[in-house]
Amino acid sequence: MKTFEKRFKVETLSDTIELSGPEVQHMRVLRLKNGDEVHLFDGSGWEARARIEEMDTFTATLVVLEKFQNDLELPKPITLALALLKGDKLADVVRACTELGVSRFQLLKTQYADVPDLGDNKLVRLKRIAEEASKQSRRAVVPEVLSPITLKQLPSVTKGFVAHPHTQSTLLEHLTWDSEVWFATGPEGGFSAAEIELLQHKNFLPITLGKRILRAETAPIALLGALASTGV
């Protein structure tokens, strides 16, 4: 059994924990039984080793054996402001970028997007994908996925970067870890000139991702890959 399969998310890491519903079903699927050890995480950075004390069809009582802070997070939280994309592309980006350490996804409505908005069901699905990817990559933080807003509604940030063709500036020459970091990536058609200007007003610095044209779903993974390659 792979380690991540024995990881379960809980609301709060108290000394004794009662679980019910899908987490218990999942334990039964994995054929876990009384006395077995599992890993718990609370989605905010804390983890624990715990032992199953009692389990029946619907509920399980666990005792926390050891609590520790998971150190797999990036030095500061990263928010990815991500333009809406068609089909399963958003899911692919959320999955890969959760593995790569993103703390929060802020979906964006943009001028050249192929999709104007996102249904509630799709938002719920993206949240579930973020949770699954967080488990699989053994992170203790489950990234938030925030409903789409317009670029005008996006706050001014302390430090932001927007992937933009025909730019010379590079991420790593401008990145420092003294505050949280925002990234913005556009839709298939890219950001419009007006949108890039608006993002610059909000402290997003245009940066290069090389000379070739990247698909909208490749750009954010490449950007986060640049961070990962520094070993953080």
Among the listed residues 168, 84, 79, 75, the one whose alpha carbon sits nearest the alpha carbon of residue 123: 84
Rounded to a whole number of angstroms, the minimum distance from the CB of residue 175 to a copy of itself is 10
Rounded to a whole number of angstroms, the minimum distance from the CB of residue 51 to a copy of itself is 24
Is 214 a binder of a copy of itself (CB under 8 A)? yes
CB 26 within 8 A of CB 57: no
Binding segment for a copy of itself (CB under 8 A), chosen from 56-64, 79-87, 123-131, 216-224, is 216-224
CA 133 to CA 136: how far, in whole Å? 5
CA 222 to CA 214: how far, in whole Å? 9
Among 17, 96, 115, 157, contact with a copy of itself (rule: CB under 8 A) = 96
Rounded to a whole number of angstroms, the minimum distance from the CB of residue 228 to a copy of itself is 4
CA 46 to CA 139: how far, in whole Å? 10
Considering the complex, state which of residue 12 and residue 229 has its C-beta at the smaller distance from a copy of itself. 229
CA 57 to CA 37: how far, in whole Å? 18
Please return the burial class of 201, using the count of CB atoms within 10 Å of its CB with bins 0-12, 13-18 and 19+: exposed
Binding segment for a copy of itself (CB under 8 A), chosen from 16-24, 42-50, 58-66, 223-231, is 223-231
Among 28, 61, 149, 170, contact with a copy of itself (rule: CB under 8 A) = 170
Rounded to a whole number of angstroms, the minimum distance from the CB of residue 177 to a copy of itself is 14
Strand order through the sheet with 104-109:
144-150, 104-109, 78-83, 181-185, 160-163, 204-207
Number of residues that bind a copy of itself (CB under 8 A): 39
Is 72 a binder of a copy of itself (CB under 8 A)? yes
Residues of this chain, 99-118, that bind a copy of itself according to CB under 8 A: 99-101
